[in-house]
Structure 1
Amino acid sequence: MQAQPVDAALVARGRQLAIAADCAACHTTPKGGAPFAGGYAIESPMGAIVATNITPSTTHGIGSYTLLEFQRALRQGVRRDGSHLYPAMPYTAYTQLSDDDTAALYAYFMHDVKPVDQPVAAETKLPFPFSVRASMAVWNALFLKDQRFTPDPGMADPVNRGAYLANALAHCSTCHTPRNVLMAEDLGQPFLSGANVGPWFAPNITSDAVHGIGGWSDDELVQYLKTGQVHGKAQAAGPMAEAIEHSLQHLPESDLRAIVVYLKQTPPVAGDAAQAGVKARHALGEASRDEVALRGLKDVDPGWRVFSASCAHCHQENGTGTSNGEYPSLFHNSATGGDRADNLIATILHGVDRTVAGKPHFMPAFGDVASFTDRLSDQEIADLSNYVLSRYGNAAVKVSVEDVRVARAGGPKPFLAKAQPFMVPAGVLVLLALIALVLRRLRARRARRAF
């Protein structure tokens, strides 16, 4: 049977969709891994989830998948062999993809990606009971909204286009929306209002002018999505830096503007009622003269000592950053002016590493991966954070040594992760109770027969 000719236009569209969906960020191991060959360990609260090989290899990838099987994996999180994927693979968002777009993605992966005929270096091995993939069938029944995107007839085309890009392809809500006790997105009122992503905090991106992005201009938001930096407002690090490096910077400006138009019309979600009337997180702070005032004194803020030794050389002694913006100002900065310090702590621990338009943007880490001479203790990071917040950002926010310890360990643990050590003993007790109940009924039945 003669093979069908490859539709070059369809493949090209699939390539662009794969970029918008940020497939490479998880399925390509950083720093030189073969494209889409898997092996990258994605840290989750339940343990490391290893991304699979999604090249068209028929032995170790998805080369044997039919279009329908490919669509089922994308939309329902079910592999060809019937086993369930974990929602670290954002099928809860990809389920909105249209038939045409899933067909284009399938054409791209099958005809334009080079097959890698080797297994990933490690497999996902979560602790019990998370290791039971079949349990995801129950989770899906509760939380998977298996529906395709439907344009809102009351909205303009750019808004609908932006909604499709943000919610289906770029899966913004998987990071920026809080999750319930079973780790499903809370798609009600808190939609896009911010959530923990490991040690980082994906901020509120609703249209609220103070707590969200309503105070940004459209051009500033497009610039941020394209470059990861807007002077006097924010710079991308952590998972957002990855999204910009692998995906967003490569989208056409029309798509970025569509995302912005959509986000600017989302329902605003404000912060705590007690914070009503406060300034936006990018509007706080000012330059400091502490370097001149404190140098040479004995009784000084320990956080200033750390700042002077580890930070002032790049961010300048007064916190203004470099004139070219490569090292940003520490005031008028969302990492220091927000109502929580997660991103400030995480940036100190893990640094910044993103490449935009071929140019690397880098800040060294001072956590566990730093050299011995650069590594900071939990106490030093807490002192530094409190100094920076008090001088350059939101002085009402305080950082404890415990806050740093939690961030260094991977961030706050959700209920399920905290409960996991007790689930096995609890399961054994339930099983024993069921066995005892069955035995009791059998004995009662025998007793009635004997009578």
Structure 2
Amino acid sequence: MTISLAAHGEALDASASPGKRLAVAADCVACHSTTGGKPFAGGYPLASPMGVIYSTNITPSKTAGIGHYSQADFARAVRDGVTPDGTHLYPAMPYTSYAQMTDSDVAALYQYFMQEVTPVDTPSPKTELAFPFNIRASMLGWNALFHSSKRFEADPGKSEQVNRGDYLVNALGHCDTCHTPRNLLMGAKNDKALSGGSLGAWYAPNITSDKTSGIGAWSSDELVAYLRSGHVEGKAQAAGPMAEAVENSLQYLDENDLKAIAAYLLQTPAVANGERQARHTFGQASDDELSLRGGKPQDNPGWHIFSGTCANCHQANGQGTREYPSLFHNTTTSHRDNLIATIVYGVHREVDGVAIDMPGFGPDALFTDRLDDQQIADVTNYVLSRYGNAELSATAADVAQVRAGGAKAPIAVLAQFGPPTLIALVLLALYWLRARRRRQEA
């Protein structure tokens, strides 16, 4: 589900206020609006390992939104995840990143929401998680372990451009929220910052400067082009949550900010994940259309699905067209789950008013061939073997898992054994984390 920023009247022009520009850079509209709904009225369902979390109404409505918030109340909610009545927000709201925001930026953001956003008096749905995740007071302990109230400080050893990029990536843009792996308690593994993280059905890849596992082999111009459009020939195309970020936020940032993000990412500490080949370098054109035509479907079911369903747009040899990307030298086709998710859900983003759409082919497809889990696994394996990472493979169970929202997080699995088991294991994890922190401090 993508939320068009332009459809909500938020596209930037020269007259846009500083607060509006900050709201776009922070991508507030994506999570706090629904398709067809009023901007910032909340109700967007955020799938989390603990259950569905509904975003809140952040319009200046005094009955359903934040119209009664003082600037101090607003700052505490944005940077510490605590509302005026003491309710703790779940970290699906990226306050752990927004905590770094400067006082002046928080003040400008507050002025924007209070003075420029239209109030909507409709309350958003209430989040109802299962026990023990419904105990919001538990966030006190979580915050003590994983939340810092430290504001952003420029590194005097870095350039002004790199420091600006640092602020955009780790504070306003909260890229670390998706691209940093999580531990047992869903806290960020900051020692492996930006090295890739699970997003349910999707995977946010490694964006450190490592030349094989990350984006170290990309040029600054390629990164800027990708951030602005979601497309770089011979490298990658944005889908899923990244497509939303491009559509609602990144395409509206000015060139200097995009260059700053690229400069920061290209100098981050390289984190290797064990890959032997950069994910955009796999595959080549295929001549299977000539060699396999006329064969029995059961002999190569993946190719038959590809030939009948995919080749019309991506071409029989996988090289794509001007409108449709090549399947080789494409980061999506070198990652099993992202490839499955792309086939199931499709690709949807709008850049410069032009819609880029690939329909989904899952069981719920409305206007395309409906492929079952085995068929999706078959075509996934064909694409992986010809155009992507041939060392990977998919099963019908893998497809079912992606359609169900991805692998369950360990903490959600533990919760199935009952509260006593979960509490005991969480206490052990807390003890281990505390001991580790003491060792690091020592």
Give the TM-score normalised by structure 1.
0.88
Unaligned runs of 5+ in 2: 1-13, 426-442
Q: Which amino acid aligns with 2:17?
A: A
CA distance in 2, matches of 1:126, 1:413: 15
Give the counterpart of 2:176 among 154, 173, 177.
173
Please, which of 338, 349, 354 is the counterpart of residue 354 of structure 1? 349
SS in 1 for 2:203: strand
1:103 to 107, 113, 134: 107
1:155 alignment partner AA: K
- The alignment covers a number of residue pairs equal to 411
SS of corresponding position for 1:410: coil
Structure 1 residues 297, 192: CA separation in 2 closer, same or farther (over 3 Å shift)? same
Q: 1:421 aligns with which of 416, 420, 432?
A: 416
- Find the aligned partners of 2:344 and 2:25 in 1 and give their Cα distance: 29
The separation in 2 between residues aligned to 1:428 and 1:109, in whole angstroms, is 39
| SS of residue in 1 equivalent to 2:418 | helix
Opposite residue 408 of structure 1, the aligned amino acid is R
> In structure 2, which of residues 106, 113, 119 is the aligned counterpart of residue 115 of structure 1?
119
Aligned pair 1:398/2:378, yes or no? no
Given that 1:11 and 1:105 are in contact with CA atoms closer than 8 Å, whether structure 2 keeps it comes out as: no
Q: 1:286-297, aligned counterparts within 5 Å? A: 286-297=284-295
Change (3 A) 1:427 1:163: closer
1:5-47 per-residue CA deviation (whole Å, 9 max, x = no partner) reads xxxx9981110000000000000112x2101011111111111
Q: C-alpha root-mean-square deviation of aligned residues, in Å?
A: 1.8
1:143 to 1:248, Cα distance in 2 relative to 1, 3 A: same
Give the one of 242, 251, 254 matched to 2:253: 251
- Is structure 2 residue 215 aligned with structure 1 residue 213? yes
- The structural deviation recorded for 1:163 is 0.1
Change (3 A) 1:373 1:63: closer
Q: What residue in structure 2 maps to residue 434 of structure 1?
A: none
- Residue 196 of structure 1 aligns to a residue in which SS? strand
Runs of 4+ residues over 6 Å off in structure 1: 427-430
**1:33-112, aligned counterparts within 5 Å?**
33-112=37-116
Shift of 1:425: 6.0
Kindly provide the CA deviation profile for residues 183-235 of structure 1, in whole angstroms up to 9, marking residues without a partner as x. 011101x1111011011110000001111111111111000000000011100
Deviation for aligned residue 1:398: 1.4
- Could you tell me which residue of structure 2 aligns to residue 433 of structure 1? none
Q: C-alpha displacement at 1:383, in angstroms? A: 0.9
Instruction: Indicate conservation of the 8 Å contact 1:249/1:356, yes or no.
Output: yes
Superposition map of 1:254-273 within 5 A: 254-272=256-274
Residue 411 of structure 1 pairs with residue 415 of structure 2: no
Following TM superposition, by how much is the alpha carbon of 1:411 offset from its aligned partner in structure 2, in angstroms?
0.4
Write the distance in 2 (CA, Å) between the matches of 1:365 and 1:373.
Answer: 7
1:220 is paired with a residue of what secondary structure?
Answer: helix
Distance 2:147 2:420 in 1: 29
Residue identity in the other structure for 2:42: G
2: distance between equivalents of 1:208 and 1:320?
27
Please, what TM-score do these two structures have when normalized by structure 2? 0.90
Q: Which amino acid aligns with 1:127?
A: A
Contact 1:11 1:104 in 2 (8 A): no
Q: For 1:222, which of 221, 224, 227 is the aligned residue?
A: 224
Q: Distance in 2 between matches of 1:370 and 1:283?
A: 31
The 8 Å contact of residues 184 and 410 in structure 2, kept in 1 or not, is answered as yes
The structure number with the bigger radius of gyration is 1
Superimposed CA distance per residue, residues 116-172 of structure 1 (whole angstroms, 9 cap, x where no aligned partner)? 11212x211111111111111111011101110000011110000000000000000
Q: Which runs of 5+ in 1 are unaligned?
A: 1-8, 431-451
